[in-house]
Chains A and B, each alone.
Chain A
């Protein structure tokens, strides 16, 4: 049988084995250098800019809509300084109100929720005024907002503090004349590990079912009737292991890098035009 030996000479091995037993390939197992940090991108981007993320519902993700909204959001951010704040930070919002004598209204409170993506992004502030809990929901890109200040930059154990509505009022009482506390640049954001004591049930929601970490021992203070009722509840704690259900609702690194480079480009253009020195993409924790 005619079989030219040239094949063995020219042909390269197309298959390789990369088990641990093959040291040449195992040696190359070095950690990739994080290109993102070199390019000035922010690792905590989804937490600081939840408004720039995609919708958690897949079929509502629309590249064109997101692009158009992003342009409007960046324009708005050039006109008003929107500081970095998290759920758990204490924030003051000054908004204009034509019906007031002073024409503007300032509200101080703890940020308990940040929800929705794009131009519709909302955040809720909570405070106790004259022993009545008050929650004010602001649209972040509402043009009647004049000023947003972060009085105290910190996080809590949860990214949703809705349970403060059923907590004792001292946990959501903040002074309106509070002095802003400066956060030293380049240091990580402090996490306030305060555990909240809830009032006796009934509550507005079954807080003990969700895995909130900031609630202190809900079980002992429940009345026997509620203990019997709560005891029967089926808890779906396995849902967190569904890796792909998690993937379906979360954003991807590629998208975040894309949005951040777009923001950097927008900033650069505006700075080059000499119109403003305002910076949009910034983070207190990764400041150099």
Chain B
């Protein structure tokens, strides 16, 4: 049992969370749980700063719940809460990002339930690693795009088109529009005559 637990419980996070933490490659840092957190911290900081980041798929999956939880803490508890402040300070070591979190990102999600982020899969990339005795070694990377919703970039996925391209639908839409315009003209004419 923990020495002291978090004050009140938070709602569940609306994204997939594995039952066990996944190992992440920690280029340069000796692999440990601390190193894993350090990698995640870099990703979270970058996500909050750039709002849309391209990552290896497994890292994006692993970092997404952390971004969600940070936003959720801001939404549910606000900047004055002690626990929230501590977590924000650790996860976002750059001070301007804490301000951005509370003043730009959190207000977007005040009246919304999670998920607050989206994760998209890009086509896998094949990159050449090295050439050994005329033998080329290639490696395949799964790529994901992690983004915070409501960001000012153009959408990754095209918006669902409700109009069909059938000639009947096009004519109907035009007829409706003409009808609307005539109605509007009539209304204007009647108001002018009065």
- Residues in B neighbouring A19, C-beta threshold 8 A: 104, 150, 152
Evaluate contact between A250 and B3: CB separation under 8 angstroms: no
Bound Cα distance from A4 to B173, whole angstroms: 8
Evaluate contact between B110 and A28: CB separation under 8 angstroms: yes
A and B contact pairs by CB, cutoff 8 A, 25 listed = A4-B170, A6-B176, A9-B177, A10-B173, A15-B155, A16-B150, A17-B150, A18-B108, A20-B103, A28-B110, A29-B111, A113-B1, A213-B4, A236-B33, A242-B33, A243-B66, A243-B69, A244-B17, A244-B65, A248-B17, A248-B19, A250-B5, A250-B6, A250-B9, A252-B9
Closest chain-B Cβ to A215's Cβ sits at a distance in Å of 10
Bound Cα distance from A253 to B7, whole angstroms: 12
Say whether B87 faces chain A, with CB atoms less than 8 Å apart.
yes
Evaluate contact between B90 and A241: CB separation under 8 angstroms: yes
Closest chain-B Cβ to A30's Cβ sits at a distance in Å of 7
Evaluate contact between A29 and B33: CB separation under 8 angstroms: no
What DSSP secondary structure best describes chain A's contact surface? loop
Bound Cα distance from A38 to B81, whole angstroms: 22
Bound Cα distance from A19 to B11, whole angstroms: 25
- Residues in A neighbouring B8, C-beta threshold 8 A: 43-44, 46, 253
Closest chain-A Cβ to B110's Cβ sits at a distance in Å of 4
- Residues in B neighbouring A238, C-beta threshold 8 A: 33-34, 37
Bound Cα distance from A255 to B3, whole angstroms: 23
Say whether B159 faces chain A, with CB atoms less than 8 Å apart.
yes
- Residues in A neighbouring B10, C-beta threshold 8 A: 252-253
Closest chain-A Cβ to B185's Cβ sits at a distance in Å of 15
Evaluate contact between A6 and B177: CB separation under 8 angstroms: yes
Binds B, one of A145-153, A155-163, A277-285: A155-163
Evaluate contact between B155 and A159: CB separation under 8 angstroms: no
Evaluate contact between B69 and A244: CB separation under 8 angstroms: yes
Give which listed residue, A43, A115, A213, contacts B3 with CB less than 8 A.
A213
Say whether B21 faces chain A, with CB atoms less than 8 Å apart.
yes
Evaluate contact between A59 and B69: CB separation under 8 angstroms: no
- Residues in A neighbouring B55, C-beta threshold 8 A: none
Bound Cα distance from A236 to B21, whole angstroms: 17
Select from chain A the residue with minimum beta-carbon distance to B108: A18
Evaluate contact between B19 and A59: CB separation under 8 angstroms: yes
Give which listed residue, A28, A32, A43, A160, contacts B2 with CB less than 8 A.
A160
Say whether B174 faces chain A, with CB atoms less than 8 Å apart.
yes
Say whether A232 faces chain B, with CB atoms less than 8 Å apart.
no
Say whether B31 faces chain A, with CB atoms less than 8 Å apart.
no
Say whether A25 faces chain B, with CB atoms less than 8 Å apart.
yes
Bound Cα distance from A29 to B37, whole angstroms: 31
Evaluate contact between B3 and A158: CB separation under 8 angstroms: yes
Bound Cα distance from A253 to B9, whole angstroms: 6
Select from chain B the residue with minimum beta-carbon distance to A21: B152
Closest chain-A Cβ to B20's Cβ sits at a distance in Å of 8
Evaluate contact between A254 and B12: CB separation under 8 angstroms: yes
Evaluate contact between A25 and B4: CB separation under 8 angstroms: no
Select from chain B the residue with minimum beta-carbon distance to A25: B108
- Residues in B neighbouring A9, C-beta threshold 8 A: 173, 176-177, 180
Bound Cα distance from A77 to B19, whole angstroms: 33
- Against B, the Cβ 8 Å flags (1 = close, 0 = not) of A256-282 are 100000000000000000000000000
Say whether B82 faces chain A, with CB atoms less than 8 Å apart.
no
